[in-house]
Amino acid sequence: MRQPTSCRSVAALTMTVVMLWNVRGSLACRRLLIFVAMNTYDIKQRAERIKLVLADVDGVLTDGGVYYGAEGEVMKRFNIRDGMGVERLRDCGAEVGLITGEASPSVSRRAEKLKIKRVYLEAKEKKRAVEEIARDAKMDLSEIAFIGDDVNDLEAMKIVGLAAAPSDAFVGVREIAHYVCATRGGNGAFREFAEFLIESRQVETDQVGAQVGFGL
């Protein structure tokens, strides 16, 4: 089973290290610190390869709620900071796409506002949608990230290079995610994941610059 990483889980592991140091001595601490370092390194390596970030909508870009009227869906609530995350990823050279099982006018309008070109509505089989996107974009699945929150996202999350989940995602989703956000869906989870990816890309750029003898 994958061991998800987030600011919260790393903090919890750090507290465990302190407790083990007091109770069992340095050997147990050393083993746990090695585990944390290896887990974090693997996720950073995965993040550095990402060129396309795919996101579920309900429960990731929204809090999972929807307002209905007599004629159906009236509105969804999106987080402005998540929108900035889309722009910042684009500025760093990473594309963003949306995959949802719903036929939602709100999603289409939000994607238009954020200039997101890859929008897949009524995608009941998200794994197949991700595979089709990879072929169309001529990308390896290891270059794609997916952030989802519920059971219908599981199969898609299993095949991508980096899988993420909001803090309030279904427990089974959190268990297979490489990265579990400290924030909830619709409340900045996508932005948090975006900033993690941006930071990882910056680290990679700095390392390349150092190797050729100058900083970027």
Which tens digit of pLDDT belongs to each residue from 155-211?
999 999 999 999 999 999 999 999 999 999 999 999 999 999 999 877 554 443 444
Domain carrying residue 50: 7-211
Antiparallel, parallel or unpaired: β 72-75 and 67-69: antiparallel
Average pLDDT of each block of 10 consecutive residues along the chain (216 residues)?
A: 52 52 55 56 88 97 87 85 97 96 91 96 95 96 98 97 96 94 96 94 53 41
Evaluate whether residue 2 is within a structural domain. no
DSSP for 171-208 reads HHHHHH-SEE-SS-TTTTHHHHHHHHHHHHHHHHHHHH
Residue 95: predicted pLDDT: 97
Instruction: Give the pLDDT of residue 42.
Output: 81
Instruction: Please report whether residue 43 resides in a domain.
Output: yes
CA 187, distance to chain mean position in Å, is: 14
172, 174, 177, 183 alpha-carbon torsion, rounded to 10°: 150
pTM check: above 0.85:
no
Q: Is 75 within a domain?
A: yes
In terms of C-beta density within 10 A (0-12 exposed, 13-18 middle, 19 or more buried), how is residue 84 classed? middle
40 belongs to a structural domain: yes
Residue 44 domain-assigned (yes or no)? yes
Q: Coil, strand, or helix at residue 122?
A: coil
Overall number of domains in the chain: 1
Q: Is residue 1 part of a domain?
A: no
State residue 9's pLDDT score. Answer: 52
Residue 46 domain flag: yes
Q: Measured at the alpha carbon of residue 197, what is the angle toward residues 193 and 199, in degrees to the nearest 5?
A: 115
Is 158 among the domain residues? yes
Task: State both tokens at 195.
Answer: 């900033």
